Chains A and B, each alone.
Chain A
Amino acid sequence: MTGPVMDPRIAPPFPEAAFPILQNTQLRKNVAHATDVIQAKRNHLVAEKKDWQELRTSAAAIRAHVLANLATYLEQFEKNCTAAGGVVHWAKDAAEARQIIIDILREEKASEVIKIKTMTSAEIQLNPALEAAGITASETDLAEIILQLGNEEPSHIVVPALHVNRQQVRDIFARRMGLPQLPDDPEALTAAARTYLRKKFLTVPTAISGANFLIADTGSVAIVESEGNGRMCLTLPKTLITLAGIEKVVPRFSDLEVLLQVLARSATGERLNPYNSLWAGVTPGDGPQNFHVVLLDNGRSEILARKVERQTLQCIRCAACLNTCPVYRQTGGHAYGSPYAGPIGAILTPQLEHMRHAQSLPYASSLCGACYEVCPVKINIPEVLIDLRAQVVDQERNESKRWTDPMYMGMKVANFAFSSAPRFRLAQWFGRVGLRFFTDKDGWIRKLPNLGSRWTLSRDLPGMPDQTFRQWWAEKEGGRSRETEPGKEAR
């Protein structure tokens, strides 16, 4: 069995990618259980916060302010980070970011690098590039270790191995760490991971991290995590490279007061993350002595320029939208074909791909709005999804294949029918005649052709009743109401 494809440029469309996952009952059970647990914790901690809505409003305001003044804060960050002894690099796209990182590592003559969990490195597909350059990338986040050793793909932004259960973790560790007798209790599994990790921490002198926040007024970087393995990577190596999307900057150190509160509660259902690491540049004799920050654009400037889509960049990667999403609950992350899964992935991935790939993702939502409700920075994900759908359709309008796309044609015909009441009545008449062929004696439709078969896959449809509402009304009123087309006033 081939694994999921997590590169949006070659991943199959969402419905196709979701199909095999829906047959995988174990994975679905793991995902539903894990998201239920996180969500319950999150709901509990949000409920105890009387000013939660005010906190959300503040967090959203900070993030929106940053995006409206992004260049200013990025330049301020660069200046202050450089003054503190850091080196700031700017990467236009994924390829440039990968090259900058590889060049730094080559300069350090590194053959191995330890990594803190970073979504951005997955976005630029850093690990395969490092391997190709002869550099071993060793993940140190517990979940990332499980995935790396088990050759699994991440399925969640915050808890990437959430689709793997404890027995499966045990099997991966037993196999890859040479511990056939390993029990599957959490203590034993953690101890095995610790033994594996300590050696890495003490021997590998180069590390790569992402960033939760870049702080403009101090030039510092903030990383939050639950295990402390990240802090090991941030303090023990000689050289540290931080890769961060340009949107990660915040104006002031004091903004963390709001952002750390909403992030921890939304992401893991904790009042504060167990480890909050903050550092600025280089401190002589303490911690990494070479510190690089790679600021990644990779399509973000384009997103920033669009009025509705801009809010996508407010995201602080808490993944609350994944945990609450009824679609994600069924499919987990792999169906999204990108390291960014769930509702935020459905809007972020196609935009990072300049709307040239992952075009099925904006449609991978029932627009139920649960994501918007929990988002701590108030990203109106349904609104963005709809706008992205409009972009997809606008591309389709120029493609010749639209004439053979039943959905496209159906929409055009429906619009024609809706544009006047006589046309609508005619369409209803055609509908009644057409549906008669498919309606069983008991008045129900069980099998429809073409697109309709996607409905009758699991649902019957009531056949069309003898009388539409408007016919009933006309009869009731005895022709009392006049049908006047809007814009053509009755005299």
Chain B
Amino acid sequence: MRASLFITCYNDTLFPQTGRAAVRLLERLGVDLDFLPAQTCCGQMHANTGFRGEAYSQARRFVQLYRDTECVVIPSSSCVAMIREQYPGLFEELGNGDLRKQLTALLPRVFELSEFLTDILKVEDVGACFPHRVAYHASCHSLRGLHIGERPFRLLSKVRGLQLVPIANLDRCCGFGGTFSVKNAEVSTAMLESKLTDLLATGAEYCTALDNSCLMHVGGALHRQNLEMKPIHLAEILASTEGLPQGSDR
């Protein structure tokens, strides 16, 4: 199985450990992985802030870059949601026939990481070990954009030593929302407080998600408030072999 890894702009810059974990995990599962260093950004930030033309130029770049790849794996559900939900509209308005055809052909080959694992590789037990109490935060884009459903739970349930603790109001937004967190910082903070209350009630050591955007938001507040809970991307848990006899590369 060949796949191209798309590493979201801010993951590349701020959270490289997530990309490294995705590489470790996928290579361990036998995927012939490639990374195209020409990649930059999916265009979501521009699209969601109202910069359609700019978003389109990045979307076009994405399609031109990946049109010949077997499939694209992205450890970020909001980028996948951007590609699936917004690219067609952008290409309809600003693209030409050829590009629209390339997009249509590419879309079914773009996967979020947990989709790729469960739907394409058809694995749930990825051989991970992570002996900790973990709360899973459902990012809005994974929940309502990708309808990710039980996939991350199925993956987490097979991780050795991991104790998954349920969180109340799972479907409620953490208040990040991209530039929303800056434009409406006070409201975003109030939403975050409400999410923290639910998270802390779980008593988990780690909060995981499919998106580092939510985790940057939640984790930023956890750190500000000197709380013990740590944010961790799902890819890092699935890549972890902590406590296994052969040792860990974390």
Q: Is the CB of A390 within 8 A of B50?
A: yes
Does A193 count as interface, using CB distance less than 8 angstroms? no
Output the least CB separation between B199 and chain A (Å): 14
* A477 surroundings in chain B (CB, below 8 A): 35
CB nearest neighbor in A for B7: A469
Among A335, A431, A465, A470, the residue within 8 A (CB) of B7 is A470
Tell which of A69-77, A140-148, A411-419 binds the partner.
A411-419
Does B121 count as interface, using CB distance less than 8 angstroms? no
Q: Is the CB of A428 within 8 A of B13?
A: yes
Does B100 count as interface, using CB distance less than 8 angstroms? no
What is the bound-complex CA distance between A331 and B191, given in angstroms? 10
Q: Is the CB of B65 within 8 A of A486?
A: yes
Does A189 count as interface, using CB distance less than 8 angstroms? no
Q: Is the CB of B185 within 8 A of A458?
A: yes
Among B144, B185, B217, B224, the residue within 8 A (CB) of A369 is B144
Tell which of A82-90, A164-172, A360-368 binds the partner.
A360-368
Does A181 count as interface, using CB distance less than 8 angstroms? no
Q: Is the CB of A483 within 8 A of B38?
A: yes
Q: Is the CB of A472 within 8 A of B51?
A: no
What is the bound-complex CA distance between A193 and B179, given in angstroms? 46
Q: Is the CB of B61 within 8 A of A365?
A: no
Output the least CB separation between B35 and chain A (Å): 5
Q: Is the CB of B47 within 8 A of A386?
A: yes
Contact with A along B169-180 (1 / 0, CB 8 A): 001110111111
Q: Is the CB of A366 within 8 A of B180?
A: yes
Does A15 count as interface, using CB distance less than 8 angstroms? yes
Q: Is the CB of A22 within 8 A of B65?
A: no
Q: Is the CB of A464 within 8 A of B14?
A: yes
Output the least CB separation between B126 and chain A (Å): 20
What is the bound-complex CA distance between A476 and B27, given in angstroms? 13
Q: Is the CB of A15 within 8 A of B184?
A: yes
CB nearest neighbor in A for B58: A418
* A383 surroundings in chain B (CB, below 8 A): 85, 89
Contact with B along A299-335 (1 / 0, CB 8 A): 0000000001000000000000000001101110001
* B85 surroundings in chain A (CB, below 8 A): 383
* A485 surroundings in chain B (CB, below 8 A): 38
Tell which of A44-52, A60-68, A120-128, A449-457 binds the partner.
A449-457
Q: Is the CB of A366 within 8 A of B189?
A: no
What is the bound-complex CA distance between A308 and B86, given in angstroms? 12
Does A393 count as interface, using CB distance less than 8 angstroms? yes
Does A53 count as interface, using CB distance less than 8 angstroms? no
Q: How many A-B residue pairs have CB under 8 A?
A: 218
* B61 surroundings in chain A (CB, below 8 A): 418-419, 486
CB contacts under 8 Å to A, within B34-62, are 34-41, 43, 45-52, 54, 57-58, 61
Does B181 count as interface, using CB distance less than 8 angstroms? yes
Output the least CB separation between A342 and chain B (Å): 13
Output the least CB separation between B193 and chain A (Å): 8
Output the least CB separation between A31 and chain B (Å): 11
Contact (A369, B145) CB under 8 Å given A458-B185, A465-B16, A469-B19 = yes
Output the least CB separation between B92 and chain A (Å): 10
CB nearest neighbor in A for B66: A486
* B7 surroundings in chain A (CB, below 8 A): 469-470
CB contacts under 8 Å to B, within A85-123, are none
Q: Is the CB of A421 within 8 A of B177?
A: no
Q: Is the CB of A372 within 8 A of B144?
A: yes
User: What is the size, in residues, of chain B's interface with A at 8 Å between Cβ atoms?
Assistant: 72
What is the bound-complex CA distance between A82 and B72, given in angstroms? 61
Contact (A469, B177) CB under 8 Å given A330-B191, A363-B183, A419-B61 = no
* B58 surroundings in chain A (CB, below 8 A): 415, 418-419
* B248 surroundings in chain A (CB, below 8 A): none
Among B47, B145, B179, B187, the residue within 8 A (CB) of A331 is B187
* B217 surroundings in chain A (CB, below 8 A): 459
Does B192 count as interface, using CB distance less than 8 angstroms? yes
Contact (A462, B140) CB under 8 Å given A366-B180, A367-B180, A386-B48 = no
Q: Is the CB of B12 within 8 A of A468?
A: yes
Q: Is the CB of B54 within 8 A of A411?
A: yes
Contact (A418, B41) CB under 8 Å given A14-B184, A424-B9, A487-B64 = yes
Q: How large is the interface on A (under 10, 10 to 19, 20 to 34, 35 or more residues)?
A: 35 or more
Contact (A367, B49) CB under 8 Å given A421-B37, A460-B220 = no
* B192 surroundings in chain A (CB, below 8 A): 458-459
Does B221 count as interface, using CB distance less than 8 angstroms? yes
Does A26 count as interface, using CB distance less than 8 angstroms? no
What is the bound-complex CA distance between A392 and B175, given in angstroms? 22
Does A467 count as interface, using CB distance less than 8 angstroms? yes
CB nearest neighbor in A for B221: A459
Does B20 count as interface, using CB distance less than 8 angstroms? yes
Contact with B along A356-386 (1 / 0, CB 8 A): 0000001111111110110000000001001
* A335 surroundings in chain B (CB, below 8 A): 187
* A179 surroundings in chain B (CB, below 8 A): none
Among A15, A366, A389, A428, the residue within 8 A (CB) of B176 is A366
What is the bound-complex CA distance between A446 and B36, given in angstroms? 33
* B157 surroundings in chain A (CB, below 8 A): none
Q: Is the CB of B38 within 8 A of A484?
A: yes
Contact (A468, B191) CB under 8 Å given A419-B57, A483-B37 = no
Does B201 count as interface, using CB distance less than 8 angstroms? no
Most buried by A among B9, B47, B188, B219: B188
Q: Is the CB of A393 within 8 A of B50?
A: yes
What is the bound-complex CA distance between A365 and B35, given in angstroms? 34
* B57 surroundings in chain A (CB, below 8 A): 415, 419
* A420 surroundings in chain B (CB, below 8 A): 38, 40
9 sample A-B contacts, Cβ–Cβ < 8 Å, listed by A number: A331-B190, A362-B50, A372-B144, A428-B13, A431-B13, A457-B189, A458-B189, A459-B223, A469-B7
- Contacts A330-B187, A366-B180 known; list 19 others, CB within 8 Å: A22-B187, A327-B187, A364-B184, A366-B181, A368-B173, A392-B50, A393-B49, A418-B40, A421-B38, A455-B181, A457-B186, A458-B220, A458-B221, A459-B189, A470-B35, A473-B19, A483-B37, A486-B61, A487-B64
Q: Residues of B at under 8 Å CB distance from A? A: 7, 9, 11-17, 19-20, 23, 34-41, 43, 45-52, 54, 57-58, 61, 64-65, 85-86, 89, 140-141, 143-145, 171-173, 175-192, 194, 216-217, 219-221, 223-224
